[in-house]
Structure 1
């Protein structure tokens, strides 16, 4: 009994580091973008197409990652995909042609997508075995990794390292972290036993349904939430510049406030889920997030706009972790089937969402486009509140 608890605790800590690695790896690309654009002589349109390949690689690999995790265990997929992500990361600073960059970005995105699915699959089984909520803190470590990665490359270059050397340094760090924690992750037999116990399914069965009502519902709810996050990433700076008159160099303050609020709430979210329940967190959180967006777009003051973005981060922070946790407990459906579908649909919202909002903004206005995301969050609140617990 004690040995089992110690094994679960070690797996929990190891999984936290994997979430940190994923956030650190993907966010390290962000400061590379200006260098890539200048080095390859890209215009905004060409750069946009290359960035689309990054998301396309992730979405293409997510279902495959689920299949591999179902067969070989998520631990093996995490190791292989994380090492691939680390090895490709420096290549993003070394490619000499747009074609080479496109290939590298697609592979990098595929590796990130595979890690994302596998680490969430591992996380829900560790959470089930621990018999307490941990998913919010896991995603909190991903957010922390995102903040560190977005600053880390620039910090290393300020120390005097060349951009390529800085990227290699981060890649080595990722490899070290993954290598040190791999052995503590749940192995395939333990994971299959957990799936069988908590999902009431034979984990060795080969024929499973990928698209059931419960999976699609959670996936669509994730789509709406990820769309709102994508709106902040791609449109908040432009909104502050054009609608609130903030200068370009400070236009990123809205996303920074949103990110810090989200990271803080995720790191404390497990206590909220334990004190209340997942449904309360989702219903209340999506309501707060939607109201935050409305506050940001309906008031003309910079202070209330930033406050609205903070409320969005606080409210939305723990919604997706609750959805992932529920996906790992659906009766008769292995987590290795449910989670890839949920995350793929959700990630599609983050990828396609900015384009949808761009069309709305072009046809009407950017504030109306943001208002559309608020409506989606209210739909999440109502739909999940009315849904019967599974």
Structure 2
């Protein structure tokens, strides 16, 4: 018998640090874009409709890149794809800042959306691999790092733009992103391609086809779950402040706290989520999270005061915090399907919800009011709750 002791991997291994930094950098770039929007619109003389179309270029770029990156990961692994996309993302804010015309700015936004969205798929795939190697959950804290990066990027951007201008801000943000990528670069987990070679011939391929079809159905259902769970996030981001002002009589300062409370609660719970998931399991954590989300949305929709609505949005943030990270982990561990393709599907569908559903919600709210919308959203969350057993794949350990 070998006398060598089995040592559990360190809580913060170099590979976990690297993928966490990638999430931080990605969120930082997205957060840094937000305070640039007013100057961007003024410089190119864009009205609200024009600006909406320009921002849509960002979303379209992301959705176009995600499936392609999934195919790349399946053939090459997430290591190289994550590093290359991170390196290409570093200067992208500069492209948007110096774009001289509407067409070049639209192209720059499409490019930054493609890079950020593609990197999102790659780093989630790498995080799944780190989870497998370490035998513990890390996905929620990685998404917490993304939220932290978004807050830091927005806060730093506002200060730099106000005091030094947009070009200085773009250069500084690019340098900060570069430092994070350089620290992470040599530590990113090296993983093999996720497509296993076929060594069994046609008979083996035929025997695996039902499993592949079944896995495909599961991954699409997981994607629908992500779509449903990310749609309320977009609804709160885009419409919560207007809801508080128009229907609950809040002032501008108080109405701005709605999404702030939601985001702060979500970020806090994401950093606690891995411990909770390891302690209680992915399925139970997902179910409790769904119920918290439903309770929070219902409270916000039934609120008779802005303060009660803000509390409801905070509860919803606690609930939604860990649902998508758990679903991403589950997709990455589905047997019988290439990991990169699975994660690209759920990412594509999830971000479709946060990008495009708010416009539909706005149209509906014109006829029903936002209170009815926030009371209706928990009804859709019952579907993820019903299929929460699929989240058992997130608990899969290396074997």
1:241 aligns with 2:234: no
Cα offset, 1:88, TM superposition: 1.5
Match of residue 283 from structure 1 = 287
Aligned-pair Cα RMSD in Å: 2.3
Greater Rg, structure 1 or structure 2? 2
- What are the equivalent positions in structure 2 for 1:295-314 lying under 5 Å apart? 295-314=299-318
Unaligned runs of 5+ in 2: 200-204, 394-399
**Do the aligned partners of residues 104 and 43 (structure 1) sit closer, same or farther apart at CA in structure 2, a change above 3 Å counting?**
same
Match of residue 253 from structure 1 = 257
Task: Identify the match of residue 102 of structure 1 among 91, 99, 106.
Answer: 106
TM-score under structure 1 normalisation?
Answer: 0.91
Match of residue 338 from structure 2 = 334
- Of 12-21 and 324-333, the range deviating more from structure 2: 324-333
Cα offset, 1:81, TM superposition: 1.6
Cα offset, 1:94, TM superposition: 1.9
CA deviation profile, 1:211-232 (whole Å, cap 9, x unmatched): 7111011100000011011111
Task: Identify the match of residue 63 of structure 2 among 40, 59, 70.
Answer: 59
Cα offset, 1:50, TM superposition: 0.6
- What are the equivalent positions in structure 2 for 1:4-43 lying under 5 Å apart? 5=9, 9-43=13-47
Question: Secondary structure at 1:29's aligned position in 2?
Answer: helix
Cα offset, 1:24, TM superposition: 0.5
CA deviation profile, 1:353-383 (whole Å, cap 9, x unmatched): 1022112112322222222322112332233
Unaligned runs of 5+ in 1: 196-201
Match of residue 187 from structure 2 = 184
In the aligned structure 2, how far is the partner of 1:250 from the partner of 1:150?
Answer: 19
**Do the aligned partners of residues 267 and 7 (structure 1) sit closer, same or farther apart at CA in structure 2, a change above 3 Å counting?**
closer
Match of residue 144 from structure 1 = 148
Task: Identify the match of residue 178 of structure 2 among 158, 162, 175.
Answer: 175
Cα offset, 1:237, TM superposition: 1.1
**Do the aligned partners of residues 250 and 369 (structure 1) sit closer, same or farther apart at CA in structure 2, a change above 3 Å counting?**
same
1:377 aligns with 2:376: no
Question: Secondary structure at 2:164's aligned position in 1?
Answer: coil
Cα offset, 1:10, TM superposition: 1.0
Match of residue 355 from structure 2 = 351
- Of 331-340 and 58-67, the range deviating more from structure 2: 331-340
Match of residue 213 from structure 1 = 217
CA deviation profile, 1:238-276 (whole Å, cap 9, x unmatched): 111111212234422110111000000000101110111
Contact between 1:75 and 1:182, CA under 8 Å: does it hold in 2?
Answer: no
Contact between 2:31 and 2:151, CA under 8 Å: does it hold in 1?
Answer: yes
Match of residue 367 from structure 2 = 363
Name the count of aligned residue pairs: 378
Contact between 1:40 and 1:98, CA under 8 Å: does it hold in 2?
Answer: yes
TM-score under structure 2 normalisation?
Answer: 0.89
In the aligned structure 1, how far is the partner of 2:48 from the partner of 2:340?
Answer: 38
Contact between 1:290 and 1:374, CA under 8 Å: does it hold in 2?
Answer: yes
CA deviation profile, 1:307-355 (whole Å, cap 9, x unmatched): 1000010001000111111112111112112100111011111111102
**Do the aligned partners of residues 274 and 172 (structure 1) sit closer, same or farther apart at CA in structure 2, a change above 3 Å counting?**
same
